[in-house]
Amino acid sequence: MHQFYYQLLMIIRNKALIFWSSAFPVLLGTLFYFTFGGISKAEWETVPAAVVEQENNAMFSLFLEEMEKAEEKEKEETPILKLQYMTEEEAQTALESGEIDGIYYVAKTPYLMIRKNGVPASVLEGILTAYLQQENMMKELAYEQIPEEYREDSMRVLEEMTTEELKAYMDSEDFSTFVEEAYGGAADDSEQAADTVAATAGQSGYLTEVTLDGESMDTYLGYFFALIGMTCLFGAFQGLGSAEDLQPNVSAIGARRSISPTGKTVQIFHAFLGNLLVEYTCVILLLVYLNCVLKVGFGNHWGGMLLISFMGCVIGISIGILIGCISNLAEGAKIGLCVGIGLVGSMLAGLMVKDVKHIIDVHCPLVNRLNPAAIISDAFYCLSIYNDPARYRMDLILLGGMSVMFLAASYLIIRRERYDSI
């Protein structure tokens, strides 16, 4: 206990360490709130836009309809969006005259034309971007779940549905009849395919307005997920300091500890526990501040959030300990590695650009599977948005596995280190 208490005191007295683990994330979270959160909660002026139907896309058409319905249900004093259905010529004329701020083109891949840059254009662009991301995600999920023999036909049925058919069959319990007619196949085959079509259509109906489990989704929630991931990885600085304090050739504290009767295993364990307690406390305070003060809506998943935050702190400290144990690296290089892993990892997870995590997931998913900040962010998405327990558990396993690997490597390096003696 004396070793643990001593380690805890050293961490708490390190003001720079406490600042980067607690004060800095709070300040950055507050900045995000006023930059992004303030936008989402502002009193908007209604943005007028036209809708031009070029090709059939039932999901996008239904999405636009649901946007207006949602505004009516919430009885907004100032609706965000006012849509008018026009021909392309009418829409072009209205755009040039300033009657509308943009034109949504309904096609296989919807696109947008704007009159000029500004807040209205940003609103319209944000709505379309969010829709395209969610549509792509839903189709990918559906494609993975469809048996290979039904994939082509199932996706064809979904794409060929009209808006009225999609609405009707989303509300219907009997999807098999429709799909059987479309397939012209056996009843058992059509029922299996129908289940997939139904699930895909139903999920697509949520799009960006609500999450898959029916909870509200803040458009800018991803920034806060990445912020939490960054805070967890900042535990690397604490792990680095503790590792250096165990090495007699690096610090005076390490020299004193080297002649202590306490074994290195016990010393590493106490250092790890002390760092984990402080870092985890900082992350919990950040979560409470974001949720209770800034009113960032994480949903009712506090148990899951605390667990993934705990594992995030574990891997952050583990990374720092491993870097600190590499004796042939200069102190500046070690600090640079900790900074790089924390900042670059969190930026790739969406700290600065919201869509970057999704882009990486599409084009190079391995990067997100190796990036602890992206894994932490993904776990929060699984809780608050995707409602995917299996993927959440996989994220926990990945973090746990990497932490064990880093700590084991640190232990081996420390034990094999030899020092000159008189």
Q: Which of 63-67, 114-118, 246-250 has the lowest mean pLDDT?
A: 246-250
Q: Looking at residues 115-137, what average pLDDT do you find?
A: 74
Share of the chain above pLDDT 90, in %: 27
**Is residue 330 predicted with pLDDT exceeding 80?**
yes
Report pLDDT for 107: 87
**pLDDT of 176 over the 70 cut:** no
Q: Specify the residue for token string 């898959």.
A: 212
Q: Give the model's confidence band at 199: pLDDT under 50 very low, under 70 low, under 90 confident, else very high.
A: very low
Rg (CA), the chain: 26
Can you give the pLDDT at residue 422?
47
Terminal alpha carbon distance of the chain: 32
Render the burial of 376-411: b for 16+ CB within 10 Å, e for the rest: bbbbbbbbbbbbbeeebebbbebbeebbeebbeebb
Averaged pLDDT of the chain: 76
CA-nearest of 338, 276, 311 to 396 is 311
Instruction: Report whether pLDDT(94) > 70.
Output: yes
Q: 297: pLDDT confidence band, cut at 50, 70 and 90?
A: confident
Read off the pLDDT of each residue in 311-326 and give the average, rounded to a whole number. 93
The rounded distance, in Å, linking the Cα atoms of 146 and 140 is 10
Backbone angles phi, psi at 84, to 5 degrees: -130, 130
Q: What is the pLDDT of residues 338-369, one digit of tens each?
A: 999 999 999 999 888 767 887 888 788 899 99
C-beta separation of 130 from 84 below 8 A: no
Q: Report whether pLDDT(419) > 70.
A: no
Which residues 6+ apart lie within 8 Å of 165 measured at CB? 58, 178
Please state, in angstroms and rounded to a whole number, the distance separating the CA atoms of residues 14 and 370: 30
Q: Is the pLDDT of residue 71 over 80?
A: no
- Range in 71-80, 83-92, 142-151 with the lowest mean pLDDT: 71-80
CB distance 301 to 319 below 8 Å? no
With cut-offs at 50, 70 and 90, classify the pLDDT of residue 108. Answer: confident
Name all domains of the chain by residue range, CATH numbers in brackets.
2-36+216-416 (no CATH), 45-204 (3.40.190)
pLDDT of residue 209: 35
Contact at 8 Å (CB) between 320 and 406?
A: no
Token couple for 124: 């319209």
Mean pLDDT for 328-343 is 89
The confidence score (pLDDT) of residue 256 equals 62
Query: Per-residue pLDDT tens for 215-261?
Result: 444 557 888 999 999 999 999 998 888 887 776 656 666 656 666 66
Q: Which of 39-53, 85-99, 225-239 has the lowest mean pLDDT?
A: 39-53
- Whether 154 shows a pLDDT value over 50: the answer reads yes
Average pLDDT value for residue range 264-271: 73
Instruction: Calculate the alpha carbon distances from 124 to 50, 104, 113, 129, 412 in Å.
Output: 11, 9, 9, 9, 55
User: What is the average pLDDT across 150-158?
Assistant: 61
